[in-house]
Amino acid sequence: MTTRLAIVVPCYNEEEVLPETNRRLLALLTRMQSAGLVSSDSAVHYVDDGSRDRTWALIEELAAADGRVHGIKLSRNRGHQAALLSGLLTVEGDALVSIDADLQDDVNVIETMVQKFAEGAEVVYGVRDSRATDTPFKRNTALAYYGLMRKMGVDLVHNHADFRLMGRRAIEALREYGEVNMFLRGIVPLIGYRAATVKYDRAERFAGVSKYPLRKMLTFALEGVTSFSVVPLRLITLLGFLVSVFSFFMILFVIYGTLVMKAVVPGWASSVVPIYFLGGIQLLAMGVIGEYVAKIYLETKQRPRYFIEKTV
């Protein structure tokens, strides 16, 4: 029995790249279908994440032109992760591949992914060989971030974004995660099953601009930390401990100064400095705790993650 492949592509204002993306994906499907690698009902599913340009109209046109093209239109913009999730949890298929619309990921790698799936891997991660085409800023911040996450005990696949294949079993496992704010690349390794990786060179965005400005990148990074790690909370405890020790020695110093040295402590520095110091640390600590409280607040509401307006 050949694999029924479904390719899920989240699209937010991607009218400039979509025709080319579709051309390449369909060419790939045709090639794989005639090689007997995937079944004839394999398909490409575009998820329109509330685009404000002609993206949805284009998806409708592409779907009308080829029976293997389908579209899911979300009710509004919900972000990359939610868009991806809506596709993964909705479409049919034995193996689901998620890939960005902008052609930064090499579509031909999908063929290798399907081969690895046929060989028994339930999850196949696309891993960037080089980040030569990313800006040095993006490259370095990403590198630092992966390192930081690892130190905090979060199991991320290095240099892997959301280009991956997931088998039906992994998808059904993913469905069990009820988190409203999904950080997919953190969740998927938690699912387990046999995994494999495929390396590829990441290209430049084919057209259009990045939909991840710095602000969104920071939110996304923070999301990853607070969703998966309580290390920042522990660091606060450690910090509190260290400050207490420091204060203890300061008390000793003051006693020594008054009793032995008989020096009149001017008093200003020793009372004002700790006030500022502790004030700062307390605010910082409250901020970190606040991040987690905010997370609890957002998650307990159990708000729906997306609404599908229509499909083609």
52 or 234: whose CB is closer to ligand UDP? 52
Taking the complex as a whole, how short is the minimal distance between the CB of residue 31 and Mg ion, in angstroms? Answer: 24
As a whole number of angstroms, the distance between CA 190 and CA 15 comes to 35
Q: What is the CA radius of gyration of the chain?
A: 25
Joined together, the tokens standing for residue 272 give 């004002």
Taking the complex as a whole, how short is the minimal distance between the CB of residue 250 and Mg ion, in angstroms? Answer: 52
Q: What is the DSSP letter of 38?
A: B
**β-sheet with 43-48: strand ranges across:** 195-200, 123-128, 160-167, 95-98, 5-11, 43-48, 69-74, 308-311
Taking the complex as a whole, how short is the minimal distance between the CB of residue 33 and Mg ion, in angstroms? Answer: 27
As a whole number of angstroms, the distance between CA 165 and CA 32 comes to 15
- Is residue 100 a contact partner of residue 208, using CB atoms and an 8 Å limit? no
| φ, ψ dihedrals at 269, nearest 5° | -60, -45
Please choose which of Mg ion, ligand UDP, none residue 48 contacts, taking the beta carbon within 5 to 8 angstroms, the exact cut-off set by kind.
Answer: none
Taking the complex as a whole, how short is the minimal distance between the CB of residue 309 and Mg ion, in angstroms? Answer: 24
Q: Tell me the CB-side half-sphere exposure of residue 140, using CA atoms within 13 A.
A: 3
14 or 94: whose CB is closer to Mg ion? 14
As a whole number of angstroms, the distance between CA 142 and CA 160 comes to 11
Taking the complex as a whole, how short is the minimal distance between the CB of residue 80 and ligand UDP, in angstroms? Answer: 4
Taking the complex as a whole, how short is the minimal distance between the CB of residue 169 and ligand UDP, in angstroms? Answer: 25
Residues found near ligand UDP in the complex (CB under 6 A):
10-12, 14, 49, 77, 79-80, 83, 100-102, 104, 210-212
45 or 80: whose CB is closer to ligand UDP? 80
Cβ contacts of 47 within 8 Å, gap of 6 or more: 8, 9, 10, 11, 71, 72, 73, 74, 83, 84, 86, 87
Taking the complex as a whole, how short is the minimal distance between the CB of residue 11 and Mg ion, in angstroms? Answer: 11
As a whole number of angstroms, the distance between CA 56 and CA 199 comes to 32
Joined together, the tokens standing for residue 290 give 């606040």
116 or 202: whose CB is closer to Mg ion? 202
Stretch that binds Mg ion, among 98-106, 185-193, 194-202, 273-281 (CB under 5 A): 98-106
Stretch that binds Mg ion, among 32-40, 92-100, 157-165, 283-291 (CB under 5 A): 92-100
Joined together, the tokens standing for residue 63 give 């779907």
Taking the complex as a whole, how short is the minimal distance between the CB of residue 186 and ligand UDP, in angstroms? Answer: 16
133 or 229: whose CB is closer to Mg ion? 133
301 to 80, 179, 180, 205, 305: CA distances (angstroms): 21, 11, 9, 37, 11
What is the SS3 assignment for 74?
strand
Please choose which of ligand UDP, Mg ion, none residue 79 contacts, taking the beta carbon within 5 to 8 angstroms, the exact cut-off set by kind.
Answer: ligand UDP
49 near Mg ion, rule: CB under 5 A = no
Position with the least CB separation from Mg ion? 102
Please choose which of Mg ion, ligand UDP, none residue 98 contacts, taking the beta carbon within 5 to 8 angstroms, the exact cut-off set by kind.
Answer: none
Stretch that binds Mg ion, among 100-108, 118-126, 227-235, 265-273 (CB under 5 A): 100-108
Joined together, the tokens standing for residue 243 give 């400050």
Question: Which residues in 102-141 contact Mg ion (CB under 5 A)?
Answer: 102, 104
Stretch that binds Mg ion, among 84-92, 94-102, 117-125, 250-258 (CB under 5 A): 94-102
Crossing angle (nearest 10°) for helices 184-191 and 214-228? 30
What residues line the site for Mg ion (CB under 5 A)? 100, 102, 104
